[in-house]
Amino acid sequence: MEKAKYIWMDGALVEWDKAQTHILTHTLHYGNGVFEGTRAYMTEDGLAIFKLREHTQRLLNSAKITRIKPNFSLQELENAQVELLRANDFKSNVYLRPLVYLGYGIMGLYHIKAPVQTAIAAWEWGSYLGEEGLEKGIRVKISSFTRNPVSSTMGKAKAAANYLNSQMAKYEAVEAGYEEALLLDDEGFIAEGSGECFFIVRNGVLISPPNDTSLESITQGMVLELAREAGIPIERRRVTRDEVYIADEAFFTGTAAEVTPIRDVDNYVIGDGKRGPLTEQLQKAYFDVVYGRNPKYKHLLTYI
Ligand SMILES: Cc1ncc(COP(=O)(O)O)c(C=O)c1O
């Protein structure tokens, strides 16, 4: 990965290589830590964070769900992210990774006395699933892993522990020659990708499963808003794997994945096996928003 100059740790800018933690850091052992993935784009008017408020609020919501009392407020965390990007003087698009975690001091599962710490890293990062993937589409495998069920996991929290499921699914998919995994819920309906929400298009209708067993995706919300604005009919309903196989188009959304077309699922060619027209329209509209080219949505950008 690209190193930057500084990482923000509990109020201080620390040199990248010195941003370290004790080996008995609680989160390292039990996985209760919450994080965000946020992007800043190099717009014509300079670097700007997309939906800083929504991402920071989700970080605090994740902490609430997992019974962590954050040591900084919403406003302080927003200011810290801006301060970090200013100090690092980035030249291209950036990914931000705020992390609220339980530090060193106690062991054992009952974490109420574990010290809460916050770190924010940021580095220059291009497209998550590849430039070619954004244009031509990626190959996806339906995972043998069931998405974390709501009866045992709290998927509205972007919590480190929830990502073992994602990590195993991703590993399996890549080992099998695909680029991304698509997970089903415990009833066999489409849940989400390992780090993305999922859409199909059938007969001109844009369909995305409800967020019952997925993160409440900020990118999915933005894409749905853009589709609504463009007059594209939308359905939020459960989707089965056979419906995916006969879809006209399919794509993933996520802060990292942005809007990534899917060209095949389990070796079934989706539509024409390339980025579909509606996917392309929504992808373009999304990039116009995040790069500040759509005046209606400029207020979603925090300029550095
Ligand atoms: C499991 C999972 N689902 C969906 C998403 C997409 O969410 P967002 O669009 O808010 O980045 C992510 C990425 O954050 C994720 O990790």
Cα 303 off chain centre by? 21
Max intra-chain CA distance, the chain: 57
- Look at residue 176 and tell me whether its pLDDT is greater than 90: yes
Q: Which residues line ligand 1 (CB under 6 A)?
A: 37, 166, 192, 195-197, 214-215, 217-220, 253-255
In tens, the pLDDT along 217-274 reads 999 999 999 999 999 999 999 999 999 999 999 999 999 999 999 999 999 999 999 9
CA of residue 254 to ligand 1 center, whole Å: 5
In tens, the pLDDT along 84-109 reads 999 999 999 999 999 999 999 999 99
pLDDT of residue 130: 82
As for the ipTM of the complex, it is 0.99
CB 143 within 8 A of CB 183: yes
Measured CA to CA, the distance from residue 65 to residue 71 in angstroms comes to: 15
Q: What domains are there in the chain, each with its CATH number?
A: 6-124 (3.30.470.10), 131-290 (3.20.10.10)
CB 116 within 8 A of CB 103: yes
CB 302 within 8 A of CB 52: yes
Amino acid code (one letter) for 242: D
pLDDT of residue 246: 98
CA of residue 199 to ligand 1 center, whole Å: 13
- 199 forms beta bridges with 251
158 flagged as catalytic:
yes
pLDDT of residue 126: 83
Percent of the chain with pLDDT over 70: 100
- At 284, is the pLDDT very low, low, confident or very high (cuts 50, 70, 90)? very high
